[in-house]
Structure 1
């Protein structure tokens, strides 16, 4: 198999950015999946950065099983991961797919900080994306002690319904030392 030239690599990154699944599949058919992890733009953005930042779930679902799982936590020159980009741009299905991908870093992705000192959760909050921030908080290891719950799990003390009915208060310190407080309500009624 011939190696792709720089123009073909750039075309692949653009296909991931603009959501052209057929071009991505054609690239893999022509050059194989082995080199996908090494293809980056000048800012070290990978195929996953491009697909995740622009909300292309079909491309992400195609790429995840064929790229090394280490690419999920790959950081660009600003130390942002694909999850940072998905959170910044409010792409919930992308965020969920990255965190839940079996064999990937899982919830550890939520703790990775970029050069601005922000985690993906911090990026979601900065963007005012409450739904994504709330989902990320529910997935985090908050050291809740006995009966700790994650989405869809039951505890010995009464099940996910009991936890879901409680408010969760979170304090997060940004890179400038400012504290952001957020309450995620379990009993949200309209």
Structure 2
């Protein structure tokens, strides 16, 4: 297979930014998937940053199996991952794909902080995107958060009523506290 030129890589990058699946497929057919994980812009953004920030669900679904799983946690020059960009731009289907991708880092992506000290959860909160913040809280590793904050996990002898609402408070790196209620199932 031929080696892609700088121009070919730039065109692929733009195709990812604008969600042009056909152009991306043509690139892969011509050059193979090997170079996909190496392409960066001047700010250190990857193709996953472009796709995630612009909400291109179909393109992400097509490319995730073809790129290195480490690309999901790759930070740009500002320390932001593709998940930060998806959270900042309120793309729920994208954050779900990134976090739930079987070969990827999973929920650990939620704990990565950018240069401003913000996690993807903090970016969702700062953007006022409650739906995304709620989903991230529901799937994140709360055991690590509770150990970090010095509070106890529910032990074997403690009981939790599954119909009871649970209040969750999470403090981000800036000291801002997000409060959320996770509703129990109320089958009456």
Same fold (TM over 0.5): yes
Per the alignment, residue 140 of structure 1 pairs with 140
Alignment of 1:95-114 (within 5 A): 95-114=95-114
Per the alignment, residue 11 of structure 2 pairs with 11
Q: 2:164 aligned with 1:182, yes or no?
A: no
Q: Give the 3-state SS of the residue equivalent to 2:71 in structure 1.
A: helix
Question: How far has the Cα of 1:85 moved from its partner?
Answer: 0.3
| d(CA) in 1 for partners of 2:141, 2:47 | 28
Alignment of 1:1-190 (within 5 A): 1-143=1-143, 144-146=153-155, 162=162, 165-175=164-174, 178-186=175-183
Structure 1 residues without counterparts, runs of 5 or longer = 148-155
Question: How far has the Cα of 1:166 moved from its partner?
Answer: 1.4
Question: How far has the Cα of 1:146 moved from its partner?
Answer: 4.4
Q: How many residues align?
A: 175
- Do 2:87 and 2:95's aligned partners in 1 also have CA atoms closer than 8 Å? yes
| d(CA) in 2 for partners of 1:58, 1:173 | 31
TM-score by length of 1: 0.86
Per the alignment, residue 148 of structure 2 pairs with none
Per the alignment, residue 151 of structure 1 pairs with none
- Do 1:174 and 1:180's aligned partners in 2 also have CA atoms closer than 8 Å? no
TM-score by length of 2: 0.86
Per the alignment, residue 146 of structure 2 pairs with none
- Do 1:15 and 1:24's aligned partners in 2 also have CA atoms closer than 8 Å? yes
Q: 1:157 to 1:168 in 2, by over 3 A?
A: closer
* Cα shift readout 1:45-91 (whole Å, capped 9, x = no counterpart): 11111001100011100100011100111110001000000000000
Which consecutive segments of 4 or more residues in structure 1 shift more than 6 A?
none
